[in-house]
């Protein structure tokens, strides 16, 4: 178990693996679809010098228990609440990446925003699918259906999907073989049939109301990738006009451009 690693028990006997390191105001990191807290390694080490940093492997991700139930964001939000209570975390800044943002918005839906100090949302639209031209989406309805049908039906397809996404969306440079394999292995900790369920749950979610609610309640920062910044800015200006927006890199900008990303977070936290 790495430094600060521990398990938090959930109802039903499942356990979530978390890192809990450093002292000070708490920052809680939540990874995206099928990925693990290890993607935040450059943030955990940096911010643990000045803050208490908690990073979570969601259920069926990483070192957490693989469960047959609860593999959707309603349960993930309840799991987050369990972690915060078990570790006695008060007034955290919640930092979600990709589908980790869905966990935050669902948390706000269930528990409100009164217990949150601030919120950082990394590269996720509150509504992933739309037929309205110009909306910030994860892709066309055709492309998303094809991804689900053609790739997420077995482990080989999941591997191919993550490889393609890593090469073309996550980063802005060529990945070496070790980096690519590490990213793929991150995802394959989650079985393909659970990955497919999480994918569908995320794609069919609609958190526009909660996105507005949290941005009106607490200071909120959205960091979006360069490749869809125009759509993202337009969507966020309509849905949650109070949110502060920064643009950086690709979908995995905090990993590829960690120094710039960390500086953006530091500046936001000062405010």
Task: Tell me the per-residue pLDDT of 27-56, one tens digit each, with 9 for 90 and over.
Answer: 999 999 999 999 999 999 999 999 999 999
- Residue at 186 is within a domain: no
Which is it for the CA torsion 157, 163, 263, 127, positive or negative?
negative
- Residue at 162 is within a domain: no
Q: What is the CATH number of the domain that holds 212?
A: 3.40.50.1820
> What band does 1 get if pLDDT is binned at 50, 70 and 90?
low
Q: What is d(CA 247, CA 157) in angstroms, rounded to the nearest whole number?
A: 31
The pLDDT of residue 24 is 97
Residue 53 pairs in a beta bridge with 21, 27
Q: Which residue has the tokens 């110009």?
A: 134
Averaged pLDDT of the chain: 96
> What band does 4 get if pLDDT is binned at 50, 70 and 90?
confident
Strands 15-21 and 52-57: antiparallel
Residue 240 clears pLDDT 80, i.e. is over it: yes
Instruction: Output the pTM of the full model.
Output: 0.97
Q: What is d(CA 202, CA 98) in angstroms, rounded to the nearest whole number?
A: 10
- Residue at 156 is within a domain: no
Percent of the chain past pLDDT 90, that is, above it, reads 94
Q: Which residue has the tokens 């935050």?
A: 104
Residue 208 clears pLDDT 70, i.e. is over it: yes
Rounded mean pLDDT, 85-111: 98
- Residue at 153 is within a domain: no
The pLDDT of residue 211 is 97
- Residue at 181 is within a domain: no
Residue 165 clears pLDDT 80, i.e. is over it: yes
Rounded mean pLDDT, 224-245: 96
Q: Which residue has the tokens 């950082």?
A: 120
* Residue 195, CA atoms < 13 Å, CB-side half-sphere: 27
Full residue range of the structural domain in which residue 18 is found = 5-138+206-270
Rounded mean pLDDT, 190-219: 97
Residue 106 clears pLDDT 60, i.e. is over it: yes
- Residue at 25 is within a domain: yes
Q: What is d(CA 222, CA 123) in angstroms, rounded to the nearest whole number?
A: 7
- Residue at 197 is within a domain: no
In the chain, the number of structural domains is 1
């Amino acid at each position: 178990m790495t430094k600060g690693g521990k398990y938090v028990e959930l109802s039903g006997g499942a356990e979530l693996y978390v890192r809990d390191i450093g002292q000070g105001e708490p920052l809680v990191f939540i990874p995206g679809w099928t990925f693990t807290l290890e993607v935040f390694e450059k943030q955990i080490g940096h911010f643990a010098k000045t803050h208490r940093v908690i990073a979570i492997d969601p259920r069926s991700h990483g070192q957490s228990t693989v469960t047959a139930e609860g593999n959707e964001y309603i349960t993930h939000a309840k799991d987050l609440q369990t972690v915060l209570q078990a570790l006695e975390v008060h007034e955290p800044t919640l930092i979600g990446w990709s589908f980790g943002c869905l966990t935050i918005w669902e948390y706000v839906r269930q528990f409100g925003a009164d217990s949150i100090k601030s919120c950082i949302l990394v590269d996720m639209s509150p509504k992933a699918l739309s037929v309205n031209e110009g909306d910030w989406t994860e892709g066309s309805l055709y492309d998303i259906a094809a991804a689900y049908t053609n790739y997420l039906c077995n482990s080989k397809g999941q591997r191919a999907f993550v490889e393609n996404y890593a090469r073309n969306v996550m980063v802005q440079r060529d990945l070496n073989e070790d980096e690519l394999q590490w990213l793929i292995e991150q995802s394959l900790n989650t079985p393909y049939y659970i990955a497919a369920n999480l994918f569908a749950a995320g794609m069919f979610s609609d958190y526009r109301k909660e996105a507005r609610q949290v941005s009106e309640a607490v200071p909120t920062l959205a960091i979006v990738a360069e490749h869809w910044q125009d759509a993202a800015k337009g969507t966020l200006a309509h849905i949650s006009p109070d949110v502060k927006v920064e643009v950086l890199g690709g979908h995995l900008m905090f990993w590829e451009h960690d120094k710039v990303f960390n500086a953006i977070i530091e500046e936001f936290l000062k405010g």
